[in-house]
Chain A
């Protein structure tokens, strides 16, 4: 099918990949585009369902609302363990990342 007639165009795949911060290769863009086209084609089945008077479900266990806890600070031990998990260089208990703001 011609790209512009598709539901999931190449531009769309690239846009979504950018939103999801995944650096896709060119062949991946094409492959996933085709697969997503088929998958979303299947999803159209939901259009059959009349949901005009239905509330969405976001929480399946009944009755849970605004679960609160006491606002007290508990120190996590071992603190080093958390920073150690990073694959990046560390300086003084902090993780060194690439600059965000360019000159």
Chain B
């Protein structure tokens, strides 16, 4: 049963082929069996999961299932507040933090009958592209245990790839859903900025953060997004834009659709196998009748610099609340005055990558530097946004690689922070513009490492992205492959 997609599992429950309890029992056993090797889960809530499953059994029996996810085991990146369940952001700072409330999206999933099996590993405070910066150790890529699962939602991607649950939520600020999805051969969506509520989700960079699904198939991602999308009065950045039926366009043909291929994404620096694999996918689209057109996004090369100025600035502001007073670590060492409390808590609570980014952010916002760094970056961000607005006048969607390289070896980039930052070169521009992008598996390298592509569309075009992604899924079967575990 664990190999089923979310959709198939829902069907199985509805048709009474198995119960939520049976499904959950098997899932928990699989987590117990595989997690020591993979380290996708940082905590597992066995008892409450089985209790929730039992309640779902009752509903399934009576044919009163609350939603398509009712009774099906899911899991959440540890950045989501879950009531009475530790939510640590995989940082020493919050290792004992138990929130007294659910984030809005978690509340919505629970209302739909979510079975929460556990919380998933991530780079500390979502800062990283490899999950190597987690307080709880790295997550291994199920396709090659010596390699990273990507980040920062590495635990989420690995859990789906290893069939340890049927759906997860991640967050994508500069690529943190798409990149691990691509490295682990799963589906992941970065939604339009503001499409999904971030209330109760620990903030990293407030003008970049998004919440999105990570699943085995495109249809599954649409099912999950349907549950969580929409205006939330608790998140002022969610506009009052209607949520369409995301399942409606799945299976509709895409003949005549114009697909743009941004030339800047296929230049130097991209692994040739990755480039070729994505081009093969474009050939499949052409066979289906889509019109492929080369386009240009001229400001692409400035995106990493824009991101690594504005994101740390916003991060440093968001992380200033971690002072060990209302929540956070109790530091070791003598605290004479209040200011010592801050110095010690923050020195001991934060890992290196966090400190590095806070220092960058504090610097660019400090007196004398604000105009030359932060304000300048915000202006270049406008130019990147305009690149996308312009290109969508010529084409309907873009198809591009997600990561310039497949999964790298654990430790390979640990000593070069800048090299790690450049791993996000294809995902960041999309985040800068706030447009949505769907990462879909599109093949494997000669050595068996997954490659993903992203389908990018205008603001609030998630339906279109699902349609285009699903069309490709229908003519290929990358999603049926499983890692040898």
Contact = CB atoms under 8 A, between A and B. Distances in A.
A50 to B, nearest CB: 9
B233 interface: yes
B231 to A, nearest CB: 10
B302 A84 contact: no
A60 B433 contact: yes
Interface residues of B, number: 71
Nearest to A52: B379
A81 B378 contact: no
A98 interface: yes
Interface in A43-68: 43, 45-46, 48-49, 51, 54-64, 67
A25 B355 CA distance: 12
B382 A54 contact: yes
Contacts of A67: 236-237
Nearest to B367: A19
Interface string A60-84: 1111100101000000101001101
A46 B339 contact: no
A85 interface: yes
B359 A45 contact: no
Q: Which of A42, A59, A69, A87 has the most CB of B within 10 A?
A: A87
Contact of A87 (B96, B417, B421): B96
Interface string A8-42: 10001100110111111100100010011011101
Given A23-B347, A51-B383, A64 B325 contact: no
Given A16-B362, A23-B346, A86-B325, A43 B305 contact: yes
Contact of A22 (B233, B337, B355): B355
A17 B359 contact: yes
Contacts of A55: 379, 382
B143 to A, nearest CB: 31
Interface in B181-223: 192-194, 207
A56 B382 contact: yes
Nearest to A35: B417
Contact of A57 (B194, B340, B359, B381): B381
A88 B324 contact: yes
B207 A60 contact: yes
B381 A32 contact: no
A61 B192 contact: yes
Contacts of B299: 49
Interface string B311-336: 00000100010011111111000011
Interface in B154-203: 192-194
A91 B194 CA distance: 40
Contact of B100 (A39, A43, A85, A88): A85
Contacts of B356: 32, 35-36
Interface stretch (B6-14, B22-30, B369-377, B467-475): B369-377
A64 B348 CA distance: 39
A38 B356 CA distance: 12
A4 interface: no
A100 interface: yes
Interface in B381-427: 381-383, 385, 417-418, 421
A33 B239 CA distance: 41
B359 A54 contact: no
B330 A88 contact: yes
Contacts of B432: 60
B97 interface: yes
B326 A86 contact: yes
Contacts of A78: 100
A17 B346 CA distance: 10
Given A21-B339, A32-B359, A61 B233 contact: no
A81 B100 contact: yes
B305 A45 contact: yes
Contacts of A16: 359, 362-363, 366
Contacts of A54: 379-380, 382-383
A102 to B, nearest CB: 7
B360 A36 contact: yes
B101 A81 contact: yes
A63 B460 CA distance: 13
B482 interface: no
B18 interface: no
Contacts of B309: 43, 46
Contacts of B192: 61
B478 interface: no
Contacts of A84: 98, 100
B301 A88 contact: no
B366 A45 contact: no
6 contacts: A20-B320, A28-B355, A45-B305, A54-B380, A54-B382, A87-B324
Given A24-B355, A49-B376, 16 more contacts: A16-B366, A20-B320, A20-B359, A22-B343, A22-B359, A42-B304, A42-B418, A46-B380, A49-B380, A54-B382, A57-B385, A58-B378, A81-B101, A85-B97, A98-B341, A99-B338
Interface of A: 8, 12-13, 16-17, 19-25, 28, 32, 35-36, 38-40, 42-43, 45-46, 48-49, 51, 54-64, 67, 69, 76, 78, 81-82, 84-88, 95, 97-100, 102
- Which 7 A-B pairs give the minimum distances between C-beta atoms? A81-B100, A60-B434, A23-B343, A56-B378, A87-B330, A51-B379, A21-B342
